[in-house]
Structure 1
Amino acid sequence: MRTYRELFRTPEFTPLFVTLSTQIAAMTVAGLGLATLVYRDTGSPLLSALALFGPSLAQVIGATTLLSAADRLPPRAAIVGIALLFALGTAVQSLPGLPVAAVFVMLFCQGLIGSVGGGVRMGLLNDILSREGYLLGRSLLNIAVGVCQIAGYGAGGLLVALLSPRGALLTGTVLYVCAALCARFGLSRRAPRAAGRPSVAETWRVNRRLWSVPARRRIYLALWVPNGLIVGCESLFVPYDSAHAALLFGCAAAGMLAGDLTVGRFLPQRWRGRLASPLQVLLAAPFLLFALRPALPVAAVAVAVATVGYGASLLFQERLMALTPEELSGQALGLHFSGMLTLQGVSAVLAGVLAQHTSVPTAMAVLAGLSLAVTAALAHAEERGTRDRKPGSALLLVTARRSEAGATGRSHRRAESSES
Structure 2
Amino acid sequence: MTTAQGNGAGAGPLRTRAPGWTDLLRTAEFRPVLAAHLLSLLGVVVSEVALSVLVYGLTGSPFLSALTFALGFLPYLFGGTLLAGIADRHPPRRVLVLCDLLCAACAAVMALPATPVPGLLFLRVVLAAVAPVFAGTRMATLADILGEGELFVLGRSLLRMVSQSAVLIGFGAGGVLLTLVSPRGALLVTVATFLLSATLLRLGTRRRPARAPAREERTSLLRHSLGGARRVLAHRPTRGLLLLFWVPPFFTVAPEALAAPYAAQLGVGSAGLGLLMCAMAVGTIAGELLAGTLLSPASRARIALPLAALTLLPLVAYAAGLGLVTSLLVLVVTGAGSAYTLGVDRWFVDAVPQELRGRAMTLQTAGLMTLQGLGMALAGAVAELFSARAAVAGAGLLGTVCCALLALDVHRTRARTKGCTAPGGRPKGETGRDRHVTGR
Q: TM-score under structure 2 normalisation?
A: 0.78
1:18 shift after superposition? 0.7
Residue type of the alignment partner of 2:358: G
1:142 shift after superposition? 2.0
Residues 193-249 of structure 1: CA deviation (Å, up to 9, x unaligned): 223436111112222221222111111111112212213442343565583455444
Distance in 2 between residues matched to 1:252 and 1:97, nearest whole Å: 40
Contact 1:54 1:348 in 2 (8 A): no
1:283 shift after superposition? 3.7
2:338 equivalent to 1:310? yes
Residue type of the alignment partner of 1:208: R
Map residues 219-234 of structure 1 onto 2, 5 A cutoff. 219-234=241-256
Q: Report the equivalent of 2:438.
A: none
* Alignment CA distance shift 1:103-1:57 (3 Å): same
Matched residues, number? 397
Contact 2:283 2:333 in 1 (8 A): yes
2:51 equivalent to 1:29? no
2:356 equivalent to 1:334? no
Map residues 291-302 of structure 1 onto 2, 5 A cutoff. 294-302=322-330
1:128 shift after superposition? 0.8
1:326 shift after superposition? 2.1
2:285 to 250, 257, 261: 257
2:42 equivalent to 1:14? no
Residues 247-285 of structure 1: CA deviation (Å, up to 9, x unaligned): 444333322211221233332233233322333355423
Residues 22-51 of structure 1: CA deviation (Å, up to 9, x unaligned): 11222233334555777895446x973x54
Gap regions ≥5 residues in structure 1: 390-394, 407-420
SS of match in other structure, 1:192 = coil
Map residues 182-331 of structure 1 onto 2, 5 A cutoff. 182-194=200-212, 195=214, 196-197=216-217, 199-237=221-259, 240-241=262-263, 243-244=270-271, 245-281=273-309, 283-290=311-318, 294-331=322-359
Greater Cα offset, 232-241 or 14-23: 232-241
Residue type of the alignment partner of 1:193: R
1:398 to 419, 434, 440: 419
Q: Report the equivalent of 1:418.
A: none
Query: Which one has a bigger Cα radius of gyration?
Result: 2
1:114 shift after superposition? 1.3
Contact 2:300 2:340 in 1 (8 A): no
Q: TM-score under structure 1 normalisation?
A: 0.81
Gap regions ≥5 residues in structure 2: 2-18, 264-268, 428-440
Seq. identity, %: 32
* Alignment CA distance shift 1:372-1:37 (3 Å): farther
Greater Cα offset, 356-365 or 259-268: 356-365
Q: Larger % of helix: which? A: 1
Distance in 2 between residues matched to 1:226 and 1:169, nearest whole Å: 33
